[in-house]
Structure 1
Amino acid sequence: MSKKAFDIYYLFFLLLLLSFNAFVLFGAGMSGGGIGSKMYFATGLSYAIWGIFYFLQFVWYAPTSLAKFLVPHYGNI
């Protein structure tokens, strides 16, 4: 896949993640217990995991010195 295809894929997944997290927070807010800090932590962690995967994909396909530093076997793929 090309880099544009990966970007479109990750953007689609981010929009899906945004809608799912909004649905989860709305459901927690409408329940009797309300939205606790654990719920915010879980949704924030999902965005952090998405960001890590997006950064790794960007570094993996970008021919920069940062990619060669983070991925030592970059040129041997």
Structure 2
Amino acid sequence: MDVVGGVADAELLDDQVDVVAGLPGVLAMTEGPLPNVFGTAAFLRAWAAQPGFRLLKQSTARPRSGQCQRPVP
């Protein structure tokens, strides 16, 4: 996830698309095999409040793959 100019850009796993689609503060979403969501601080707060939310860190070995993400320690 990156935050640039007050807009969060988060890569989504397939099962997260439906969860974040209805959250407040979503500005835009992309479709396809590597979906992204762009949102405001309100979006980040709402998403973090969802049951099961956890921040994941990408592995540099296989970027943008849901299989290579691991929880941040």
* Shorter-chain TM-score range: under 0.3
**Radius of gyration: which is bigger?**
1
Higher strand share: 2
- The structure with the greater share of residues assigned to helix is 1
Larger RCO (alpha carbons 8 Å, 6+ apart): 2
TM-score scaled by structure 1?
0.24
